[in-house]
Amino acid sequence: MADIPAKPVLLTGASGALGRHLAKSLGTAGWTLKLTDIVPFPDPMPANSSFTRADLNNGVDILRLAEGCGMILHFGGVATEHPFEDVLGPNIRGLYHIYEAARREKARVLFASSNHSIGFHERDVPLDDDCQFMPDGYYGLSKAYGELMGRMYWYKHGVENVNVRIGSSFPEPVDARMLSTWLSYDDLTRLCIRATLAEKTGSCVIWGASKNSRTYWRHDAREQLGWLPQDSADPYAGQLVGKVSDNPIQERYQGGAYPVMDYTRTAPPPGRLFGK
């Protein structure tokens, strides 16, 4: 069938919330999946799928898992803010193993990047996909590094990659910020399908958000990819528009609560890096 990849798809982070949803949705659609995570897969195994428990730090295991795959949906690694040493192995070394596997197999990569790679941009400044990285913690820093790694593998080795700066992907938005950043599970699934089946992607960036009128983000590669989100946070505005924190730093920046973590400044920095 035209909407089923010719080769198996490797899904890392399969035991996480997004991985579990993707495994179920893509498995139901008839995709052949190789699932992996550092913890056991908690759900019934989808048809035509297998699960292998593996650590992203183990390059040999990742190479073996990727054998014969045409696409790697990379959702594995540390998924929230953690100390640098916790992030270093899975998110930096682990991503290198993913790209080396993709290079060997001539596979494409969808990298689950994050809005936290640009989280210190202020909310009143709309961003395009070529905006400056402004990570709001070690997690966001690893995502910026991951996008740069993908760019390097594209220019140096021709490894195609789609970098999805995921906003807030949950069953539904839960606060006012998510009226801008929310990505529905179904829109995420549709994005993964298009990233896999598109004729070509090069190395591109997609803002991982649904069709939200309050979005912080503008231009990206979605039209070239053929992905147009169908869901929206707008219907939740009535119940969420005033649901904000009492922290001015949190409400100032696009990264929300992440810029506040381990924040030691006594006053916010200027809007520009070298501003007065």
CA distances to 82, 130, 203, 239 from 206, rounded to whole Å, are 25, 11, 10, 28
Q: Is-catalytic flag, 185?
A: no
Q: Looking at residue 276, what is its pLDDT? A: 39
167 token code pair = 């906003």
- Average pLDDT on 191-219 reads 98
Residue 275 pLDDT > 60, yes or no?
no
Rg (CA), the chain: 18
Average pLDDT along the chain: 96
**Structural domains in the chain?**
9-260 (3.40.50.720)
* Banded model confidence at residue 1, pLDDT cuts 50, 70, 90: very low
What's the pLDDT tens digit per position in 154-174? 999 999 999 999 999 999 999
Q: Using CA atoms, how far apart are residues 57 and 83, in angstroms rounded to an integer?
A: 17
**Is the backbone of residue 142 left (phi > 0), alpha (psi -120 to 50) or beta?**
alpha
What's the pLDDT tens digit per position in 38-56? 999 999 999 999 999 999 9
- Average pLDDT on 193-207 reads 98
What's the pLDDT tens digit per position in 58-115? 999 999 999 999 999 999 999 999 999 999 999 999 999 999 999 999 999 999 999 9
Diameter of the chain by CA atoms?
A: 59
Residue 235 pLDDT > 80, yes or no?
yes
Catalytic residue selected from 99, 138, 139, 153:
139
CB 37 within 8 A of CB 16: yes
Residue 272 pLDDT > 90, yes or no?
no
